[in-house]
Each structure stands twice: as structure tokens, then as C-alpha cells.
Amino acid sequence: MVNENFEELKHTDVINAMQAAAPEEEAALAELYESMHQKHMIPLWTQIDDLMPNEPSPNAVPHMWRWSDILPVAEKAGELVPVGRGGERRAIALANPGLDGRPFITPTLWAAIQYLGGHEVAPEHRHSQNAFRFVVEGEGVWTVVNGDPVAMRRGDLLLTPGWNFHGHHNDTEHPMAWIDGLDIPLVQYLDTGFFEFGIDRVTDEASPDISRSERLWGNPGLRPVSAVDDTINSPVGAYRWEYTDRALREQLKLEDEGQPATVEPGHAAVRYINPTTGGDIMSTIRAEFHRLRAGTQTRPTREVGSSVYQVFSGRGEFLLDGVKNTVETGDILVVPSWTQWQINAETEFDLFKFGDQPVIERLNFNRRLVEGDNQ
Amino acid sequence: MVNENFEELKHTDVINAMQAAAPEEEAALAELYESMHQKHMIPLWTQIDDLMPNEPSPNAVPHMWRWSDILPVAEKAGELVPVGRGGERRAIALANPGLDGRPFITPTLWAAIQYLGGHEVAPEHRHSQNAFRFVVEGEGVWTVVNGDPVAMRRGDLLLTPGWNFHGHHNDTEHPMAWIDGLDIPLVQYLDTGFFEFGIDRVTDEASPDISRSERLWGNPGLRPVSAVDDTINSPVGAYRWEYTDRALREQLKLEDEGQPATVEPGHAAVRYINPTTGGDIMSTIRAEFHRLRAGTQTRPTREVGSSVYQVFSGRGEFLLDGVKNTVETGDILVVPSWTQWQINAETEFDLFKFGDQPVIERLNFNRRLVEGDNQ
Amino acid sequence: MVNENFEELKHTDVINAMQAAAPEEEAALAELYESMHQKHMIPLWTQIDDLMPNEPSPNAVPHMWRWSDILPVAEKAGELVPVGRGGERRAIALANPGLDGRPFITPTLWAAIQYLGGHEVAPEHRHSQNAFRFVVEGEGVWTVVNGDPVAMRRGDLLLTPGWNFHGHHNDTEHPMAWIDGLDIPLVQYLDTGFFEFGIDRVTDEASPDISRSERLWGNPGLRPVSAVDDTINSPVGAYRWEYTDRALREQLKLEDEGQPATVEPGHAAVRYINPTTGGDIMSTIRAEFHRLRAGTQTRPTREVGSSVYQVFSGRGEFLLDGVKNTVETGDILVVPSWTQWQINAETEFDLFKFGDQPVIERLNFNRRLVEGDNQ
Amino acid sequence: MVNENFEELKHTDVINAMQAAAPEEEAALAELYESMHQKHMIPLWTQIDDLMPNEPSPNAVPHMWRWSDILPVAEKAGELVPVGRGGERRAIALANPGLDGRPFITPTLWAAIQYLGGHEVAPEHRHSQNAFRFVVEGEGVWTVVNGDPVAMRRGDLLLTPGWNFHGHHNDTEHPMAWIDGLDIPLVQYLDTGFFEFGIDRVTDEASPDISRSERLWGNPGLRPVSAVDDTINSPVGAYRWEYTDRALREQLKLEDEGQPATVEPGHAAVRYINPTTGGDIMSTIRAEFHRLRAGTQTRPTREVGSSVYQVFSGRGEFLLDGVKNTVETGDILVVPSWTQWQINAETEFDLFKFGDQPVIERLNFNRRLVEGDNQ
């Protein structure tokens, strides 16, 4: 059914080939376009190539930030900028170079390094935006989510789904830095954001080893009978490194035993889920952890939707649309929609990943192209 | 809208009040009924009271079996009856006294004690019926489910959802007994059962401490990216006592701290779930574990659907439609639909519970009446 | 993985081959069985063949009732038996000969002819049981469902989902008969039934051509913004013959035009649905209408779940497990679970069909075997 | 839990109150900000007011376009601009004045007038973007969707869900204009768009009165048994004015009879749905039709998500954040997220409405504030 001749063409090729207007036609057209402009009207035919490309052509670009660049900037901000009411957080966003200087790592996602000095408190607030934190190093801060203090430690994923009051307090003398992921750009784009200030400290300054949410939800395959109604977002405050690490280790051992467990040879991966549904942790953000054996090379893949990786440990390279990025612990990489990505693990290679796939899937725009698969 | 006068009446009261037929009418009626009988037809009006009672009036009755009665019978069977192909299992069903001598504990559920001698093997088969095993004492048997050997130990819940090949082998010199729960009566009633023999032993006679399914699924809040498609029944072979116990203990501690966690004061409870959906472990059977503090008294409750309890530890009493049953470790109790139940815990009281609530809820027949609630 | 040797065997074959017990063993066994009996316990191994057959072996049997037998019986009942409070309805059930004299057409379903004389009223009541009526001939009765009078006419399907008050009144001088379908056996089996009397007449004795529910929901592809929350059962009181007939006619025309529309060549079919979900009209009952061109022969099929057909018009034959049943307008046929069925249409052949497939599917027991398909 | 003092404040108020930096601090800060800029990093604290407002503060503004302005521009384009391969469509977008000159009526939605001269053909293509057309006047064009010719007539809603080939052909001598609605901005924002050219004319130039999709799906409460699997988007090509009009008329009549039917007094409304699910017609776009009696005044309402209205007939006014817009047949209005809207009907007032609510709801950002309701 497809017009074979046009298959590789773009709209503009066709338009250009068709146009050779006489001067008087050009004048009439100019007048028409001006009258449209007056009435806030714009023709499709002059813009269709940008509006409806043959395949996704994101403004966002692949980019990599080094941890060795990010961390010193955050430390400097720790010296100069107070944390507290108004600015709310000492968070520094990674700005995709393709996105016009806006503080967004992808069109939908915000990624920032947050920095909290010894004994500092980031005051409570709540907002429609969904948030998580991932800890690549350090410990000593408790994030208090709806009154439940949640310890933050290396390798942990901590959740603050939309409209939960939350603040952070550093219970030690030492500063701590971590990564924040939010759907700030999406919420701004959709005009869906609400924000409320809470108290100026945190509602519970205790520093328990484990949060109440984990005590309720932290046992595999069990849910409280007092909480059998499903929740939109995960009720779990913390996903601990101990379990993530064990799950990945077991997948690789099972692979060694010849059992199905990994996503491809040498490539173990877990998705963080909402235990009430088995689905993604929050409506707009997917989070996963991937481990590659040294020497593993993933299959070149394109996916609709955008993803961010932070190297948790090890060393390897990302080929993004053919460009090699060598990365190590703490480095952060963004893979825009439909960019071809391939990962090569130099050492055992641990990667935290998050992305906007729940948005893409809920709106039924998901598509995926893996080199070597039948289309 | 309700007819107030009839509210407390039954159909038969009304019918009796209306009928005072003349002899010739009676003869004509008898002839009519006979002609119906010839044609396999039956009038509603003579049967409506049984067919459409004002509220559920089960044939099944509340009943209690003592572990001290059940276990010796199973041991005796262990001496006299071989286990193996044909009879398939040395399982002895608990037969509800109200169900006409059929081996069913409720209209929908089968509960049996199964007994396997030292080094015996129950050969593999598969069937549409969903099954679980719960271990009230002992260890040493591995149930092999689709080739995955699953250790059975005290307090564990083990699953064999429909159409998975499974067999059991005792890896020790000592016999072991446990409880089997299945939906045999429901499958028979609905005429949905298929059965196939497998190999005469088990496909994998290893005796690992932990099954492959647990290694894949046993980490809270995580699922393998290689298994993101939901499954009808839980992919988890074993729910270990360690986690069940911990979950209940934490609920009671949270209650002590003034936090919401228990279903009512002094009453902790967890539901076993399918981690891919957060829902019940199998389409037809719900399983839960309840812990009551010593001295706790639950609120008198009626529910549509039938339930079975086994005392795991402690001592207490069940008031079933006002009749007291004092029970202790191993004893098994059945609570038919709409029977009023209330539990009083003499000591700390641990109860394994299963029932047909997923059937009731999926067909939208669920109703519940708790004394003291607004209706 | 299957044991090839046992594949065609039944349990009993195997058991018989294994048993040749010595007299003293027989005595010990007898004693064991007696002690089980005392304690309400029953061994699996003596019963497994009945409990777990290789494939469904229903007690219900294929059977056919002639309209020319049913209708006169109903008319006679109209003379002899009053309709009204207590007996509630002048309904005569079709009793499957395999079901021990109970008034059930299948294990889950009730099918009855109901008869209402000129100007008679069947008083209001409500019950958990889901009900529908299908009209094979006649008109003049209004069924009033939750206060909404719904005209009953030839070819119409009328719904009374569980717990809606309903009564019927005949607005004419002439009697009318129709078919009632309910899930009475299922509700009795599951012990889920509640019943309440309503007023002694109907709440609205008007006789509008079209019900309020149809005025709200009767426009294809549209739903009221005042009713955007989904309902468990269909909010539609009547599915009119005009639309059913048109839909079937169009499917056959589309087939003539070479377009996909029918389920197999010459076989058009529609399913009645709940417009709020696109799913079955009620939680427990599926209803469909099938039209076969003269000469069409359907493919021999087995399905888990039971079905009932009423011939609406035309003439044809049903082959049920190889037995031929020739039927015509008004005749009713039951097809138990896993019975092989094949329909041959002598003339254009219109069939109303209902069954318990929503129950089977919600519990994930559905299976289907069509001759000629790859398994 | 909320900090009362800050409740009415914005972030910037607080930040300004806190800042009174010494000159040397300002220099250090400037240096820090410059180093961030170099590394593609941006601080949150200087931008939070824009990024996380207290409530949605859209860039898009309320705006109104007059049909009497739009139509002549389209007619002029009809004279000057050919329709055909490359530019693809003679469509002129309505550009929200707040959206930087981009051709988008809201951040997520595209609305355009499309114009097709007598006997012109808009060639086939397909794209990820979901599309519909709504006809405010005229007829004579057939849109051919996946080979199915669908007549376009006054009051009809026609669908072209994503990735269906479609083209249009005018079967008459007269031009025709209509409104196109698509999710072009959303697809561009999410980088999810694919596009393919099809044949240069349409695959079926027939001009049937009714499409094949309507013949299959156009009967209320019925679905083909050959199509019982749900589809992501509606399989229906056309929603005809005849049914929309009847549904609205019946709602107002039911209101007159004292029955629940309308959304508020004097305000009837229907939602166009996917009959396979009862949900919205497409994953990203909701479409409804509203009818207000003369004199009706709707309650002032704010909603998250953006909406577009076209007056179909009658005359009335929209109060948008307190600004009055008087509109009549053909005029188009946009209501951005969280803008307060109220409609006053001068005459009977018929409104076609579409919006991005399925996106908002699937991502769980929906919120609504109706004046007078309890919050």
C-alpha cells in the first residue's frame, strides 16, 4: 500500500520539486500568509516536514555529564547557596544541550544533583510532580515522606510520588549528594502542576534504619490485608541496594545454570515496581537497574521515549547513534527518543536507568527496533 | 420501595398462606406436574424458597477437624497405601459433613492432608486445578514444579497453579505431612478439568535451599525485565515463613507505634500475592496469614464466600454462628458463606487462611457485614 | 515431558493394574477407611478418576426441548396457577436430565419459560441472581426494572442484572410467554444469594414504546457524560430485534462484498455487550445471536463452559457429540462443557445463545478445540 | 501540616526576602553560575517559581477564532495552494497566541480548518498522530480510512486513529471545509511520530452512504463476535449527527420527566466512545458534544487539561477567567488548563468539544474545581 517512490523522501523534497511559482502567485501567497498571521492561523503545508517527520527527530541530543564535573559544582554551591524556604532545594539540573537552555535532561524529565550539607534541612513541601532520588555514593540523609523518615544510602532508590509532603534532613556532620529525577518538564508542558509549602523542617527527625513503608511492604509476595486497595503510585519509600544487587546476581547465576533469567546473554536487569499492581513505580517514570558482565555487548536498539543512565559502578562505553561515550562511576548519560544505543561493558558494569516509558506506553506510542530482529 | 410487611417472611410463608386448593384443582395440578416431569420441566413456584433464599443458606456446615485426629490417620495410610501412579497422591480429604459425603471442605474447595514417607516419590502430573500446599510442621520434601525443585518447610506456602507439571520427593528418611488446598470441587462443578500424567519420578531430584522462582522473584519491589508480561497465576513457587512472620511482627510493632498497619486492633494480617499484578496468587484461591495478639477479639463478621483456617500456633476459639470451637496447633476449621465468625485469641494466635474469595469477587457477588458498621 | 505410556489411560486402569491386595491388607484398609469415615475424611486415591478426569466429563447431558411441548404446559399452568407474591413468577424451568432432577439446564444456568396472562402482574422483587428474558414470540408485557418500564417484543433481549427491583405487567388482554435465563444454580452453588420482596405491583405501570435506559444508552458510540463511571453490569434494559437483525444482515452483506465480518463463512454473530466496558452484559452470563445462511455447516468445536440455544427462526440440526438433533422455531438445546457441537443450517437459521463463558473466562479456565485448527 | 504563613506566597517572594548578598558573594555566585553554564547545568533555586508554580500557569491563553474569519482564508488558500503530495493537506492551523507562533491551539492539540475543492483528492498517508474531523457545515467529501470510504456530513465526527492510511476525495463540484483535530504537538513533544506516504489518490473512490465500520459497529449494545478483542482506538469511522442529536434531545426530555440524564440542569452532553472498551475514542483525545437549553448557565469550573470548543449552532457566551466571549455558529474557542470557564446559552446552544483529558487521566494528573462544590 505504501508509495514506494516516496518512501525515502521527506515532505520538503516533494514540496520543493513541486514549487516554481510565478511572481504574481508569490505576491498573492504572501498576502494570504499575512492575513493568516493576523488571525493567528498557520498553514500546514509549509511546516509539515518539521511537524510530521518520517521518524522521531528529537531536539534533545545524546549527551554525557561526568561525575567529576558535577560533584565539584554541587560542593561549591554548598558553600555559597543556602538551602531553605523559597528556593527549597540545593539542586542543580542537567540541561540537555538541544533543549534551548532549559533545565531539562529530556523533554519530559528533570535530572539534578542535590547537595545537603551536614545537619542541613531541606524544608517540607509537596507538588504534583513525581520524584525519586538515587544514591550513587554516601549516606546520612533521611528523606521524610508523608511523615515517614527514609534513610538514603548507596545504591538505594527512594520515592516521592506526586502530592506527598516531603523534606530532607542530614543527620550527620558530612555533606551528601545524590541524583533527583522528576517529571518537571512533563508537568510544565501539560500544565498540571500544583505546589504547596509545608513546615520549615521535617515532621519526623528520627533516623531509623528502615522506613515504615518498608516494614509494611518489604516482604516479597505479601501485602497487608489493611491495604488491599491498589494505589496509583508505589507505597514503598525505599528500594534497597541489598535486594537489587541480590536480584541481579541471581539472574546471572541462573544464566550460568542454563535457566531463563536475563534479558540477553550477560545482561541482567530488574524493574522497580509498585507492589500493589506489579506495574511501574509511578505514573510517569520507569526505573530499572541493569548489570552487564564484563565483555557484554548489547544489541543495537532504538526505542520511542527518552532514557537517562547513571553509571553505578564499573566502566564501559555507550554507542549513541554511532558516537562512542566512555563512562565510569557517577557519569550520567541521556538517550533521546529513537536514538540508537548500544552498551559495551569493559568491566562488570552496573547502571541505574530511568525514563518516560510509562507515558509512552499509556498513550500507546511505544515502538522498538532491535537490530537483527524481524520487523 | 421494599414491601415492609414481607420483609421478614420467606416465600413459603406466603405460599402457604395463599393456598387452600379445592380437590379438583389439586388433581389438575397433579396432572400438570406429571406432564412437566415427563418433559423435564420443573415449576419455580414450588421451589423458590430453596432456590432463592433471603440470604445464603449453605449446605456446607461449620466444622472443625483436630490435627490429633488427622495426623494418625495419615500415618496409618502411610503404612498401608502405596503412593504412585494411578492414585497419584497419598492425600486424605476433609469432607464437610453438610456436603453429602463428598470429599469437599466447602462447595468450591478441597483440603487434604498429604503424607509422604522417607524417600518416597509422588510422580509428576498436571491438571487444570489450582493447588497449594501449606506446611504446619516438618520438612524434607521438595515439590518440583515445572522442573523447579521447591523445598517445603514449616510455615511455608508452596504454589502449583493449574497446568504446571509437579511431583514431590522426600529427600530424607523421615515421613512428612502437610496440607493441600485445591479448587477440585469448583473445577468439577464447572466441568473445566483436564489432567495429564507426567514422568514417574520428578524431573529434577536436587534439593536446593531455595527455588529458582524465588531467586527470580524473591526481592521486594523488583521484577525481572525478562518477565514484564503479567501472568494469570503467581510465578512464585514458595512464600517463606521467614517473611510472613516478619511482616506480621512489623505490623504489630507499627500498631504499637501508633501507625496504621493492622486490620483491626491486635489483628495483623498479610495476603499472599502474585507479584506481577499485586492480586491473588491464583484465579480461584485466596491465601492469607493472620496473627492475633493474646486477648484479641475480632468483630463478628459475615462474608459471602467460604474460608478454611488452619491453626499454625497458639490457642483460641472460633465462634461460628454462635457456636464455640476451641482450637490449637494443626486444627482445621471451615467457615461456610455468610456464617457469622468471630475469633478470640487466648494466646498469640497464628492462623493460615484460604478461601474462594477471588471467585466471589470476580463474579461480583462479594458482600460483607461487620457487626457495628453502618450498613 | 509427558509419560507417553500413560497418555491414554485413566487413573482407574492404573490403579486396577497395581492392586492385588492380600486378605489381611484388605482388612487393615477397611479399618482405615472406617476410621476416616468417622472423622469426615475421604481418601483421594479411590476417587481420583471421578475427581480429576482427563478431560471434562459433565453430568449434564446434551438435551433438546420442543417449543411445541413447552408452550402448552405453560398455558396450562396459566389456567391453574396464580401468579403473585410468594411463588413470585409463573416460570417453569427446563431440567437437564443429567442433573438429578434439579431444575437446572446446566450446572450454572437456569432456563425457564415464563407465562403471564392478560392484565396479570408479577410483583416486584430483587435478588443477587442475574436475569435476562428473551422473546421468541408475542408482545404486550412490560418488565419494570428499577422503575423503568421496558417493553418486551419478539426478538428482544431484556436485562435484569442482580439486585435491581423488577416486576412484570401485561398491558393487554392476551397472554404472553418468553424465556428467562438466570444464574440461579451458580448462585446457589456459591452460596451468594440474597432476596428481597418489593411492592405487590410494579412501580410504574406506563407502557412506553422505549425504556428510559434505551433513551440514555441506545445511540451507537455515545455515552452520557452524566454516566462516565463504568458499571459491573449493563445499564441497558433492552436490546431490540431491529438492531440485532440489522447487524447480522450487514455482516452477511459485508461477507458478500469480500470484507471480514463473519466468524466463519456463512456464519454471522453478534454479542450483546455492556456499553460502559464493551464486555459481557452481566458478570456471569454471555448472550449472543447467531445467523447461519441456508446450507452453512459450522466447524466441529468443543469449548469449556456450557451453552443454551433457542431457535428464533428457521430450521437446522445440531450434532452434539455425534448425535443429530433437528430443531425449529422455539426449540431449546443445551450443550454441556466440552461436548462437541456442530450446526447445519437447513434454511436461514437464527439462533439466540447464552452461556456461562464469563465465569469460565474470569476464572481462566477457558479452552477451545476446533476441528482442523492447529492445537 | 501546611505552613499557613507561606500559603499565599510564591517562591520568588520568599527568595527575594531572603537575599541581600554582599558584593563578594555575588561575584562568587556569578562564577559558580558560569561554571554551571559551561557544563550544561542549571540551578533549581533561581527558576523554581516558573518550574513549580502553585497552580498551573499555562503559556497558552484563552482565545477565540471567528468562523467568518477562518472560512474566507481557507477559501483563498483553495484558490492559491494546490493540495497533494508533499504538503499533503490544505489545512490551516489555529495558533494559540501564547505559544510562540507555533501552529498549536493548545500545548498538546492541533486544530485546523481543512479545505478541499470540487473533485480534489488529498492523497493517502499514515502517521502516529491520532486525528479526527468534525463537520460544521457542508458535505460531499469521503475520507477513506484503511480502505473504507466514510462520508463526511454536517454534524458528523470522523476518526483516523494513528497509523491508519487515509486520504480524502471530494465527490462533488463544490468545495468543502471542516475542522481537523490531531495530537501533533503532543507527538512532537514526546518525539513519538512516524510518517509514511501512501498512494497518490485514495484506495477506494466509492461514495457509499455509510462506511463498512459503521455497518459492523453501528448497532447499540452489539459487537461482532468476529471482533471480540479490544482495540486501543475506536474501530468506528463515523459518529453520525443523527444519533448525537437524538441522544441530546432524549437527555433533555428525560430531564423534563424528572429523570437523571443531564450533567447539570439544562445541560445535556454525550461523550464519543470506543465501543470495544466504553472509553475514549483515541488514546490522546476526548471528544464530546454538549447542548445547553436557552438561558442555561453552567457552574464556573477549572479543570487540568486543555479543551477546544466549536459552536455547532446557536449563540452564547463563554466567560474565560472572567473575560466574556460571545460566539456563534462555527466560532472556535480554546480553554487552557485550569482556566475558569462558564458558559451562558443565549439560544439553544450546541457545542462540539475536544481535549487532551485522556492524557491527563492516564497519567493521573486530573483535578477539577467546580465553584460551590466542597473541596
Q: How far is D350 from chain A (nearest CA, A)?
A: 24
Q: Does C276 touch chain D (CB under 8 A)?
A: yes
pLDDT, chain A, mean: 94
Cβ-defined contact of D277 to C278 (cutoff 8 Å): yes
Chain segment D251-272, per-residue pLDDT in tens? 999 999 999 999 999 999 999 9
Confidence of residue A337 (pLDDT cuts 50, 70, 90): very high
Q: Is the CB of B103 less than 8 angstroms away from the CB of C44? A: yes
Least confident of A43-52, D104-113, D314-323: A43-52
Residue A244's H or E segment, with its range, is helix A241-256
pLDDT at B4: 46
Q: If phi over 0 gives left and psi between -120 and 50 gives alpha, with beta otherwise, what is residue D76? A: alpha
CB contact under 8 A, D87 and A11: yes
Determine contact: A263 vs chain B, CB below 8 A. Answer: yes
D–A touching, 3+ CB–CB pairs within 8 Å = yes
Nearest to D189 by CA among D307, D104, D68, D263: D104
Angle at D125 between CA D87 and CA A367, to 5 degrees: 115
Q: Does D203 touch chain A (CB under 8 A)?
A: yes
The answer to whether D190 contacts A85, with C-beta atoms less than 8 Å apart, is no
Selected residues 333-372 of chain C with any CB under 8 Å from a CB in chain B:
336-338, 356, 359-360, 362-365, 367
Q: Give alpha helix (H) positions in C219-356.
A: 241-256
If you average pLDDT over residues C215-239, what whole number do you get? 97
- D189–A189: do the CB atoms touch at under 8 Å? yes
The neighbouring-strand residues paired with D297 are D344
Query: What DSSP string describes D142-162?
Result: EEEETTEEEEEETT-EEEE-T
A222 touches chain D (CB under 8 A): no
In this prediction, residue C36 carries a pLDDT of: 95
Kindly state whether D258 is in contact with chain C, defined as any CB-CB distance less than 8 angstroms: no
pLDDT tops 70 at residue A12: no
User: Which of B40, B48, B33, B129 lies closest to C61 in space, CA to CA?
Assistant: B40
Nearest to C7 among B57, B81, B197 (CB): B197
Average confidence score pLDDT of chain B: 94
Interface test with C, best of B52, B128, B332 (most C CBs within 10 A): B52
Give the span between the Cα atoms of D103 and D110, in whole angstroms: 7
Q: Does B254 touch chain A (CB under 8 A)?
A: yes
**Confidence at residue C4, expressed as pLDDT on a 0 to 100 scale:** 46
Per-residue pLDDT tens listing for chain B (375 residues): 334 444 455 666 655 555 556 788 889 999 999 999 999 999 999 888 889 999 999 999 999 999 999 999 999 999 999 998 878 899 999 999 999 999 999 999 999 999 999 999 999 999 999 999 999 999 999 999 999 999 999 999 999 999 999 999 999 999 999 999 999 999 999 999 999 999 998 999 999 999 999 999 999 999 999 999 999 999 999 999 999 999 999 999 999 999 999 999 999 999 999 999 999 999 999 999 999 999 999 999 999 999 999 999 999 999 999 999 999 999 999 999 999 999 999 999 999 999 999 999 999 999 999 998 765
The pLDDT value given to residue C11: 63
Q: Taking CB atoms and an 8 Å limit, are B41 and C94 in contact across chains?
A: yes
A273:B244 CB<8 A: no
Name chain D contacts of C270, Cβ cutoff 8 Å. 219, 222-225
Which of A24, A33, A108, A190 is the best residue to mutate to test the D interface, defined by the most D CB atoms within 10 Å of its own CB? A190
D194 contacts A55? CB cut-off 8 A: yes
Closest C-alpha among C83, C66, C178 to residue C121: C83
Which among A265, C224, B201, B228 is positioned nearest to D247, based on CA atoms?
A: C224
Where does residue C317 fall: left (phi above 0), alpha (psi -120 to 50 degrees), or beta otherwise?
beta
Of B253, B254, B278, the CB nearest to A278: B278
Among A154, A196, A214, A157, smallest CA distance to A354 is for A157
User: D119 pLDDT band (50/70/90 cuts)?
Assistant: very high
Predicted ipTM?
Answer: 0.94
Query: How does pLDDT run across D23-59, given as a tens digit for each residue?
Result: 888 899 999 999 999 999 999 998 888 899 999 999 9
- Distance of residue C8 Cα from the nearest chain D Cα, in angstroms: 35
Q: Identify from A19, A40, A55 which residue to disrupt to test chain D contact, counting D C-beta atoms within 10 A and taking the largest count.
A: A40
CB-nearest to D216 from C216, C225, C250 is C250
State the Cα angle at B41 between B35 and B46, rounded to 5°: 95
Question: With an 8 Å Cβ cutoff, are B86 and C194 in contact?
Answer: no
Neighbours of chain A (3+ CB pairs under 8 A): B, D
Partner-chain contact C1 B337, CB within 8 Å: no
Whether residue C221 and residue D226 make contact (CB cut-off 8 A), yes or no, is: no
A258 with B210: CB under 8 angstroms? no
Q: Where are the beta strands (DSSP E) in B243-367?
A: 267-272, 286-292, 301-303, 307-313, 315-320, 323-328, 332-335, 341-345, 349-355
Cβ contact (<8 Å) for C86 and B45?
yes
Share of chain D above pLDDT 70, in %: 94
Interface contact C216-D274, CB threshold 8 A: no
- Count Cβ atoms below 10 Å from residue C42 Cβ, excluding itself: 20
User: Which residues of chain C are within 8 Å of residue D226 when distances are taken between CB atoms?
Assistant: 251, 260-263, 269
CA distance A174 to chain D (A): 22
Cα separations in angstroms, C92 against C111, C121, C130, C268: 8, 17, 17, 31
* pLDDT tens digits for range B16-69: 555 556 788 889 999 999 999 999 999 999 888 889 999 999 999 999 999 999
> What does the pLDDT look like over A348-372, one tens digit per residue?
999 999 999 999 999 999 999 999 8
Cβ contact C224–D277 (<8 Å): no
**How many CB pairs lie under 8 A apart between chains A and B?**
143
The stretch A116-136 carries a mean pLDDT of 97
Asked whether the predicted pLDDT for residue A215 surpasses 70, the reply is yes
Q: Over 60: is that where the pLDDT of C16 sits?
A: no
> How much is the average pLDDT of D149-175?
97
Backbone angles phi, psi at D106, to 5 degrees: -140, 175
Q: Which pairs from A369-372 meet CB under 8 Å and 24+ separation?
A: A369/A301, A369/A302, A369/A303, A370/A299, A370/A300, A370/A301, A371/A299, A371/A300, A371/A301, A372/A299
**What is the per-residue pLDDT for D11?**
64
Q: Looking at the predicted structure, is the pLDDT value of residue D9 above 70?
A: no
Q: Which of B145, B204, B216, B219 to mutate to test the interface with A (most CBs of A within 10 A)?
A: B219
Work out the average pLDDT over D322-338: 98
Closest chain A residue by Cα to residue D12: A86
Tell which of B33, B192, B304 to mutate to test the C interface (max C CBs under 10 Å): B192
- Across the interface, do B162 and C364 touch by the CB < 8 Å criterion? yes
Say if CB B187 and CB B129 are below 8 A apart.
yes
The verdict on B32 touching C (C-beta cutoff 8 Å) is yes
Whether residue D47 and residue A306 make contact (CB cut-off 8 A), yes or no, is: no
In the stretch 59-118 of chain A, residues with CB closer than 8 A to chain D read 60, 63, 65, 69-70, 73, 76-77, 80-82, 84-97, 101-103, 107-108, 112
Q: Phi then psi for C59, rounded to 5 degrees?
A: -70, -40
pLDDT tens readout for residues B315-325: 999 999 999 99
Question: Is the pLDDT assigned to residue D373 strictly greater than 90?
Answer: no
Minimum-distance CB partner of C221 among D212, D230, D236 = D236
H-helix or E-strand containing A75?
A: helix A67-80
User: How many C-beta atoms lie closer than 10 Å to residue B91's C-beta?
Assistant: 27
Which residues from B are below 8 Å from A274, CB to CB? Answer: 278
Considering only the beta carbons, identify the residue of D218, D222, D278 that sits closest to C276.
D278
Mean pLDDT score across all residues of chain D: 94
Q: In the prediction, which pLDDT does A6 show?
A: 45
| Confidence tier at C15 by pLDDT (50, 70, 90) | low
State the nearest Cα–Cα gap between C268 and chain B, in angstroms. 27
Task: Confirm if B94 and B332 have CB atoms less than 8 A apart.
Answer: yes
